[in-house]
Structure 1
Amino acid sequence: MAKTTQATRFLDKAGISYTVQTYDYDPNAFKVGLQAASAIGEPASRVLKTLMAEVDGKPVCAVIPSNEEASMKKLAAIFNGKHAHMLTPHDAERLTGYHVGGISPFGQRKRVPVAFEEQALGEPYVVMNGGGRGLQVKLLPADAIKALSAITASVIA
């Protein structure tokens, strides 16, 4: 597996320090984030998943712990909207340039506003998708927020 992706190039360009971790991606896993956490031996609360949604018709990204679910009501409020819903896998792939199971918030084809779950700030480090199935990047939560120009808020249900 290539360890250089659009996401890692994005982090390099931003001057963000990170390490790469790989694992055997299971395309049949019920929850990809939980499978990743188990495969790399990290708590699910520290392994963050990338969710692509729309708020009042505009694309947004939510980064939350892999063992949690996003609140669409909270997501809409964070971005001053009324309605939020998840993008279809096809639309998420088209927007980000990544395949489902390998969607990273870093280096997406089109940059969109990002909401970063504030609970993750309590972790010493976080692990996020590095732009490929079975590829994760480990970095400081503050560095991820800085690189993404993310809003920190309570996103989980």
Structure 2
Amino acid sequence: MARKQASQGTPATAALAAAGVPFVARPYSHDPAAASYGLEAAEMLGVDPSRVFKTLMVDVDGRLAVGVVPVNGNLDLKAMAAALGGKKAALADPAAAERRTGYVLGGISPLGQRQPSPTVVDDSALGLDTILVSGGRRGLDIELSPAELVRLTGARTARIGTRRNQ
């Protein structure tokens, strides 16, 4: 996979470039009226939704954390809490998520966040050669090895996603 960063520079692409991790920037034309940013990305890029992962900020027992799950499913909050040794999880306040990551909703990447948070990647990613995650802005996904995503974010892997259409 070629390394690309020209004119797509975000903290996420900068982090990948600095680490020497191969990735492909996959820009697309974002529609502000899209109901689901992740499903929009899959459709616009012609990629199976099980390979496109959304980044969700979660409050686990009062601490912010990152859950990365396929866009064709949902985050299992109980599983997310358990994966981090917590008791209760809820989706984080959107403003808190934006402050913590430095990204806007719909463009939050698990990479290059202003303040890194404990991260859990759904274990379904490990069965894929590459996955796509937000590149740090709406209309930009990054394709990379799931093993590199886990390594760079210091993530744990666990079954934190619920599956649809299976």
TM-score (ref. length: structure 1): 0.97
Corresponding position: 1:72 with 2:91: no
Supply the distance in 2 between the matched residues of 1:106 and 1:95 (Cα, whole angstroms): 12
The list of structure 1 runs, each at least 4 consecutive aligned residues, that deviate by more than 6 angstroms after superposition, is: none
- Shift of the alpha carbon at 1:3? 0.1
Supply the distance in 2 between the matched residues of 1:86 and 1:14 (Cα, whole angstroms): 30
| 2:58 counterpart (41, 45, 53) | 53
Contact 1:16 1:147 in 2 (8 A): no
3-state SS, counterpart of residue 74 of structure 2: coil
- Shift of the alpha carbon at 1:121? 1.0
3-state SS, counterpart of residue 67 of structure 2: strand
| Aligned-residue identity in percent | 41
Q: How big is the alpha-carbon RMSD for the aligned residues of Structure 1 and Structure 2?
A: 1.2
Corresponding position: 1:32 with 2:37: yes
Kindly tell me the number of residue pairs found equivalent between the two proteins: 157
Superimposed CA distance per residue, residues 120-140 of structure 1 (whole angstroms, 9 cap, x where no aligned partner): 111121011111110111111
Supply the distance in 2 between the matched residues of 1:18 and 1:30 (Cα, whole angstroms): 27
Partner of 2:47: 42
Supply the distance in 2 between the matched residues of 1:64 and 1:43 (Cα, whole angstroms): 14
Supply the distance in 2 between the matched residues of 1:98 and 1:67 (Cα, whole angstroms): 22
| 1:117 counterpart (84, 98, 122) | 122
Supply the distance in 1 between the matched residues of 2:91 and 2:22 (Cα, whole angstroms): 30
Q: List gaps (5 residues or longer) in structure 2.
A: 1-5
Residues 1-157 of structure 1 aligned to structure 2 (within 5 Å) = 2-157=7-162
- Shift of the alpha carbon at 1:15? 1.8
Supply the distance in 1 between the matched residues of 2:22 and 2:68 (Cα, whole angstroms): 19
Supply the distance in 2 between the matched residues of 1:129 and 1:36 (Cα, whole angstroms): 9
Supply the distance in 2 between the matched residues of 1:135 and 1:31 (Cα, whole angstroms): 14
TM-score (ref. length: structure 2): 0.91
Supply the distance in 1 between the matched residues of 2:7 and 2:94 (Cα, whole angstroms): 23
Amino acid at match of 1:81: G
Superimposed CA distance per residue, residues 40-94 of structure 1 (whole angstroms, 9 cap, x where no aligned partner): 0000000110000010000000011111101110011011111100012211111
Amino acid at match of 2:123: E
Supply the distance in 1 between the matched residues of 2:55 and 2:113 (Cα, whole angstroms): 11
Q: List gaps (5 residues or longer) in structure 1.
A: none
Supply the distance in 2 between the matched residues of 1:92 and 1:44 (Cα, whole angstroms): 24
